[in-house]
Amino acid sequence: MSDNVDIASLVHTLQGDEKLLDAPLDLDLGGYTMRIRSNNALLLERLGEYFAHLEPGSAKPDIEILAIERGVVDSGLDFIDWAREPGKTGRKDAYFDISGARVVYKVRTGMLFLQSETTLIAAGPCLQYDNQVINYINSQYMNWLQKRGWLICHASALVYQGRGFGIAGFSGGGKSTLMLHLLGQAGMSYLTNDRLFINNEFDSVLARGIPKLPRVNPGTIVHDPNLYSLISDQKREAMLALPAEELWELEDKYDVHVDEVYGPGRIVNEAPLSAFLLLNWQRDSDAKLELKQVDLHQRKDLLGTVMKSPGPFYQYSDGSFHQDTAPFDEQAYLDALNDVAIYEVSGRIDFQQLAEHWLEQFTSLTA
């Protein structure tokens, strides 16, 4: 199958003979409009519920995405594994390139995604793995931002009294848990979880999020009263009975619908970025929690908490694709964050103490 492959044959492989419904889902992601079409009404309904906080899209969208609900497709393509980030193990993504197009294969689910400048298709068991369809939709917005000078960061972000701050940390450092602890505070709004975009080409450094809801594990849910409703009382009791180490490592993601849990109007798309909180703390540390301002130029070891690869879906303006061997541009991050206050958190992990301490610090910083 990998011989003589072109865009038309890839479209046929992914879409097959599936017929699209007449009614689409139109979305406006921060000024970038898209139309989602599918052969499955339930899938469009789910996507509409997930993106309900967005403005409706345009009658003339910037792009169209097809989401084809079907069984796992045996494409016959000779995929190449996409290298995992440091600290991550196991196969996750693989890809197959032709001129101007790339097919991304999700190893664990069998989902296939066609990425090109003109044709965008998600195909496979989309209902079962709707989160991957959501990620694919967001990837198009992420591409659009990066082509316009926005720099991708591996971070969560919140907005307090009109000013934004990012939260980054080494893998498993608890940035989402801390973010949700802080989101429960009055006057706090949600900007993004796990993918933050920054741009210093304006009068101030701006931060943008993507419309991706926080996803949390049981270890976060069972200790945060705002999240108790996400699981049953029986499951919470069972989780609390687990050893602390096992509960921390447990992977079972739940979406946190911000407007439902924290109240309407708590999601924002963009804000000036005043500070960045870098989590360099440890679960097994005996040292007391410490929060101190640092200079990233002198602490480049902390840049690894912030930098993020554009990933296999990123297509440059010339039609070529990002490669997993491409190095990070450290200077671009240093330049973008030059006027942003950077704080390192070290010592013992204590979400409640840090939340209280940080709120005081950030309030004084932006006063």
Structure tokens at 292: 């101190």
What pLDDT is attached to residue 56? 85
Q: Could you count the other beta carbons within 10 Å of the beta carbon of residue 170?
A: 18
Q: Compute, in degrees rounded to 10, the torsion defined by CA atoms 120, 126, 129, 133.
A: 30
Residues 65 and 172 in one domain: no
187 in a domain, yes or no?
Answer: yes
What pLDDT is attached to residue 306? 96
Where residue 2 falls among pLDDT bands split at 50, 70, 90? low
Residues 172 and 286 in one domain: yes
Mean pLDDT of 336-344: 97
Decide: helix, strand or coil at residue 80: strand
Residues 120 and 155 in one domain: no
Structure tokens at 31: 């000024």
Residues 266 and 136 in one domain: no
81 in a domain, yes or no?
Answer: yes
In total, how many domains does the chain have?
2
229 in a domain, yes or no?
Answer: no
Judge contact between 191 and 258, C-beta under 8 A.
Answer: no
Model confidence pLDDT, tens digit, residues 230-258 = 999 999 999 889 888 888 888 888 999 99
Mean pLDDT of 252-277: 94
Supply the CATH number for residue 327's domain: 3.90.228.20
59 in a domain, yes or no?
Answer: yes
Average pLDDT, the chain: 93
What pLDDT is attached to residue 87? 67
Cα–Cα distance for residue pair 189/196, rounded to 1 Å: 15
* Predicted structure pTM score: 0.94
Show which of 99, 114, 146 is a domain's final residue: 146
- Given a cut of 90, whether residue 4 has pLDDT beyond it is no
Residues 126 and 210 in one domain: no
What pLDDT is attached to residue 246? 87
Structure tokens at 226: 């705002």
Residues 75 and 173 in one domain: no
Model confidence pLDDT, tens digit, residues 276-285 = 999 999 888 8
Percent of the chain with pLDDT over 70: 99
Residue length of the chain: 367
Show which of 116, 146, 176 is a domain's final residue: 146
Residues 63 and 176 in one domain: no
Residues 46 and 113 in one domain: yes
Residues 133 and 272 in one domain: no
83 in a domain, yes or no?
Answer: yes
What pLDDT is attached to residue 248? 81
What pLDDT is attached to residue 286? 86
- Given a cut of 90, whether residue 27 has pLDDT beyond it is yes
Domain with 134, as residue range(s), is 7-146
Where residue 45 falls among pLDDT bands split at 50, 70, 90? very high
285 in a domain, yes or no?
Answer: yes
Structure tokens at 289: 């929690």
- Given a cut of 90, whether residue 223 has pLDDT beyond it is no
Residues 141 and 155 in one domain: no
Where residue 356 falls among pLDDT bands split at 50, 70, 90? very high
Model confidence pLDDT, tens digit, residues 12-21 = 999 999 999 9
What pLDDT is attached to residue 133? 98
Query: In 36-57, which positions are buried (b, 16+ CB within 10 angstroms) versus exposed (e)?
Result: bbbbbeebbebbeebbebbeeb
Residues 134 and 102 in one domain: yes
Structure tokens at 23: 């009614």
β-sheet bridge partners, residue 315 = 321
Model confidence pLDDT, tens digit, residues 113-154 = 999 999 999 999 999 999 999 999 999 999 999 999 999 999
Residues 269 and 302 in one domain: yes
